[in-house]
Every structure is written in C-alpha cells, then in structure tokens.
Chain A
C-alpha cells in the first residue's frame, strides 16, 4: 500500500495566520482526500484533491478558507487560512489504495496527520 508523508506533524500557530500542510505519496494515486479531526471528534471530509483541476469541497468547507493544490499524482497541499482557535484540529491526508474492492470501494490509507494548535 502507499506510504504517505505529511508535514508538519504538528505546529502551534497564531490567530490570523495561515499554514500549509504538505502530503507526499510514494506512488502515483488517482484519489487523494483531506480530512479534519477536531479534538475528541470523528473525521470529517474537507475536500477531494483533483489533479489538474480545482478541488471538490464538502458542504461547510470553502476554497477561500482551505485552498488545496494538487500539481501531480503524488503530491498535494492544504492551506488553513486566517486561522482561529476553532481550526485547532488534526488534518489528515488520505489516498485510495490500488485495486477497487468488490463494491468498487477503495481502502483509504492515511498519513500520520498534522496536529495544529491555534492560539
């Protein structure tokens, strides 16, 4: 399965600043996703990062707040813009692994996450 490197692994940020999280995969993958996990909560999908086109955002997430780049099939970035304490979360990059399963689903492999604390 794919190996994902995410950085930074953690950071402490000041209110109003922006931070870019990088996700590097050791193989070409078609589907790449960004998730957020707020403290003590489940994972929520932010967007699907599309190579060569704009990301597809889920309800409640907008490009101005979470701009995403996907310049090639092995790399993506997520920027958290104009941060507030409510943005303190773990942000996880994930990719769909290899062959589709019986239902057409794919196992998602996750990066180790980027734990952001906004003061």
Chain B
C-alpha cells in the first residue's frame, strides 16, 4: 500500500518569495515515482513535476523544484518567486508498480500581493 501525507492544509506566501510545500510518503514498492499537481479553483489537475525514486538529482521545472530526501521519505515542492497565479491547491502523489496515482490531502497555497 502507498500513502502520501501533506501536513499543511493551508500556506501563505508573499508574492516574489519562495515557498516550500511538504510531502512525506510511504510505500513498499522498490521503484516508485513522486508527482506534484496543481489544482486551481477551476478544478483542472495540472502536472507540475516528477521525481523517480532512483533519480540521483532533484527534479526541476522552471520555478518548481522537488527536494527529494529518500532516507526521510520526503518530496517537498519548492516554488520560487511566487506569483499571484500560483494560488491553488497543490497535491503530492505517488505512483508504484500499479501505475495509478495515490494522492495526498493537498495544501491550499495563497499568494499575497
């Protein structure tokens, strides 16, 4: 079984500042992937970034980076230079041998002007 824990129901960040959204996971699969999705108020799910369990380097995609600490089973999302459009719900998810995603409870990020 796989599990994702997001302990921050809500976060606030000032525009142009960086913010870290926490994610810890548990899995029995030796090989797995970690994902972050963004869900704006419109409801669509937008893929942001992926980290494979065997990847040596932390993933980066533009302003998004994933701080992967395998020993701690954490996969925190770092958003640099926050923008007002970053205000949304952010979900961490894990994929294992079964290929489907298991999602965490999400973090509502609000960017303040």
Q: Which residues of A contact B (CB under 8 A)?
A: 31, 33, 41-45, 48, 90, 92, 94, 96, 101-110, 112-113, 115
Contact = CB atoms under 8 A, between A and B. Distances in A.
Contacts of B96: 105
Contact of A110 (B44, B50, B97, B105): B44
Is chain B's interface secondary structure helix, strand, loop, or mixed overall? loop
Contact of A104 (B31, B55, B102, B104): B31
B20 to A, nearest CB: 20
A108 B54 CA distance: 20
B24 interface: no
A117 to B, nearest CB: 14
A43 B103 contact: yes
Interface in B19-33: 31-33
A42 B103 contact: yes
Contacts of B32: 103, 105
Contacts of B99: 31, 96, 104-106
10 contacts: A90-B43, A102-B55, A104-B33, A105-B33, A106-B95, A107-B35, A108-B100, A110-B45, A112-B44, A115-B43
